[in-house]
Structure 1
Amino acid sequence: MAARIGVVTFPGTLDDQDAARAVRIAGAEPVPLWHADTDLHGVEAVVLPGGFSYGDYLRAGAIAALSPVMSSIKAAAAEGLPVLGICNGFQVLCEAHLLPGTLMRNEKRRFHCSVPELVVESNDTVWTCAMTQGERLRIAAKHGEGNYVADEATLARIEANNQVVFRYGVNPNGSAHDIAGVTNEAGNVVGLMPHPEHSVEELTGGSTDGLAFFSSLLRFLTAQAS
């Protein structure tokens, strides 16, 4: 039976259907989750996709972090539910304090769109366990507020705890320490600015490296079930 992976839709979400398609291509079953719904419908993992939740009013992800579905996701994540936040989803996870740091406007105040090279810093997470440390992935990116910011104490802590999951090969947005993605201490919640769901087919993304996120999750779920 295929793993059931929830894909959340907030008002303003753009990439929920892309995320659902990526889940399907990876061999799992996408389950739609609405922002106002507190029921996670028994999913085995959750993806928070990209877009402009609630129009990015106040701060990107700030209102979405207070939505009913996030209350359920926070409780489930504390119990070990795997959660992946992509772009705006990463911003939501930071605003919900499921991940350290925050995302600010890109350093040069310009919207960034490219297929950057990411360096895998940690494969000790649910979403990267099928990857190799030091591996380089090509993952599509598109964001205006992807500049990862944290105070020096937080940066020192996440570096020491191996919570930096990805770094940019070439920093496109001014992120501290070239950080492209981080994890919580337990390794079940991961957020990153680039879009793995846009890099699952050669035809549209020029790379299938994004599939490694979902194959990592499925490897973890299979191991948990055995």
Structure 2
Amino acid sequence: MTTKIGVITFPGSLDERDAQRAARMAGAEAVALWHGEHDLKGVDAIVLPGGFSYGDYLRAGAIAAVSPIMSEVIDAANKGMPVLGICNGFQMLAEAHLLPGGLIRNAHQQFIRRDQALRVENANTAWTNEFSAGDEIIIPLKNGDGGFIADDETLKRVEGEGQVAFRYIGVNPNGSLNDIAGLTNERGNVVGLMPHPEHAIEAGFGPDTSEAMRSGVDGLRFFTSALKALQSV
């Protein structure tokens, strides 16, 4: 049976089609989900895509976090379903308290886009098991509200319990504390990150690497990791 990965569209989503294509490239069936419904359509995993849901009013991801479908996402995540939040999706996961901390305006107050180097810190999650801890990857980044913040106690906890999934290397593009680029929950089924793995899935269309221009395909392993995790259950 084909694994189904649902991708939710919110008003202002920009990258849901790219996430759907990434799911298909990994070998899954991509299922379009709508923010205003409560039906997850029998999917096995969920992606919250990048964009500017609800115009980023109040705070980025704040309104989306209380949209109708998110009650179903929260319930599914708490039961162990793999959930990936990309950029605006990461902000939603933080606002919905599925991941700790929060995301604020970039330290330099400007939108940034770049091919970003990351180090994989936790390779034991549903979305990172095709990596090894310490792997250095290149994933496109584009955000204006990507600065990760947390109080001292939360920061010590996520560091001590291995919840940092990815860390910026080379440069910290947005002022995130401890260079944190992505997190996982304690169970390892929920992952959020600011860079966009769905834009690094096919040679010739991905980020530049030391090997060649647009050769980066590191993002595909996020989606094949989800399939591997689901098949091992």
Q: What is the identity, as a one-letter code, of the residue corresponding to 1:22?
A: A
Q: What is the identity, as a one-letter code, of the residue corresponding to 1:223?
A: S
Alignment of 1:97-116 (within 5 A): 97-116=97-116
For 2:25 and 2:130, the matched residues in 1 are separated by 17
Q: What is the identity, as a one-letter code, of the residue corresponding to 2:109?
A: R
SS at match of 2:232: helix
Q: What is the identity, as a one-letter code, of the residue corresponding to 2:71?
A: S
1:221 Cα deviation (Å)? 1.0
SS at match of 1:139: strand
Alignment of 1:1-226 (within 5 A): 1-169=1-169, 170-205=171-206, 206=214, 207-224=216-233
Identity %: 59
Q: Deviations over 1:178-222 (max 9, x none)?
A: 000001111000000000000111222221000110111111111
For 2:125 and 2:193, the matched residues in 1 are separated by 13
1:2 Cα deviation (Å)? 1.9
TM value normalised by structure 2: 0.95
In structure 1, the residue matched to 2:210 is: none
Q: What is the identity, as a one-letter code, of the residue corresponding to 1:111?
A: F
Kindly tell me the number of residue pairs found equivalent between the two proteins.
Answer: 224
SS at match of 2:142: strand
For 1:15 and 1:2, the matched residues in 2 are separated by 23
For 1:89 and 1:200, the matched residues in 2 are separated by 19
For 1:26 and 1:177, the matched residues in 2 are separated by 31
Q: Deviations over 1:91-123 (max 9, x none)?
A: 000000000000000000011100111000001
SS at match of 1:32: strand
SS at match of 2:41: coil
Structure 1 runs of 4+ off > 2 angstroms?
none
SS at match of 2:167: strand
For 1:200 and 1:3, the matched residues in 2 are separated by 18
1:74 Cα deviation (Å)? 0.2
Q: What is the identity, as a one-letter code, of the residue corresponding to 2:21?
A: R
SS at match of 2:145: coil
Task: Mark the runs of 5 or more structure 2 residues left unpaired by the alignment.
Answer: 207-213
For 2:200 and 2:183, the matched residues in 1 are separated by 19
Q: Deviations over 1:63-91 (max 9, x none)?
A: 00000100000001110010000000000
For 2:226 and 2:52, the matched residues in 1 are separated by 26
For 1:4 and 1:142, the matched residues in 2 are separated by 27
TM value normalised by structure 1: 0.98
